[in-house]
Amino acid sequence: MTDKTKTLRVDYLARVEGEGALYIRYDDTAVHEVKLKIFEPPRFFEAFLQGRDYTEAPDITARICGICPVAYQMSAVHAMEQALGIAVDPAIEQLRRLLYCGEWIESHVLHMAMLHAPDFLHLDSAVEMASVHPQVVQQALALKKAGNAIVRVLGGREIHPINVRVGGFYKLPSRQELSELRASLDDALEQAVALTRWVATLTIPDFDRQQHPYLFVALHDEHEYPMNSGRLVSSEGLNIEACDFENHFIEQQVAHSNALHCLLDGKRPYFVGPMARFNLNFETLSPTAKQLAAEIQVTPPYVNPFGSILIRALEVVHAVETAMMVLDFFSKQGVSCSKQEASCSKQEASFRHNTQTGSSYQQPTVRAGSGYAITEAPRGILYHGYRIGDDGKIVTAKIIPPTSQNQKTIEDDLRLMLPALMQLSEDELRHRCEQAIRNYDPCISCATHFLKLTLEKGAEQQ
Annotated binding site for Fe cation: 68, 446
Least Cα distance to 150 among 191, 183, 114 occurs for 183
State the amino acid at position 158 in one-letter form: E
State the amino acid at position 308 in one-letter form: S
Binding residues for Ni(2+): 65, 68, 443
Burial classification of residue 311, based on how many CB atoms lie within 10 Å of its CB (0-12 exposed, 13-18 middle, 19 or more buried): buried
Angle between helices 134-155 and 69-84 (to 10 degrees): 30
State the amino acid at position 205 in one-letter form: P
Dist. CA 330–CA 95, nearest whole Å: 10
Q: Please report which residue ranges of 296-425 form alpha helices under DSSP H.
A: 308-330, 341-357, 402-417
Binding residues: 46, 65, 68, 399, 443, 446, 449
Burial classification of residue 210, based on how many CB atoms lie within 10 Å of its CB (0-12 exposed, 13-18 middle, 19 or more buried): exposed
Residue 123's H or E segment, with its range, is none
The residue count for the chain? 462
Angle CA(111)–CA(400)–CA(430) in degrees, nearest 5? 45
Residue 257 is classified by DSSP as B
**What are the two backbone dihedrals, phi and then psi, of residue 127, each rounded to the nearest 5 degrees?**
-65, -45
Residue 220's H or E segment, with its range, is strand 217-220
**What are the two backbone dihedrals, phi and then psi, of residue 234, each rounded to the nearest 5 degrees?**
-135, 170
Binding residues for Mg(2+): 46, 399, 449
Dist. CA 190–CA 153, nearest whole Å: 22
281 within 8 A of 220, measured Cβ to Cβ: yes
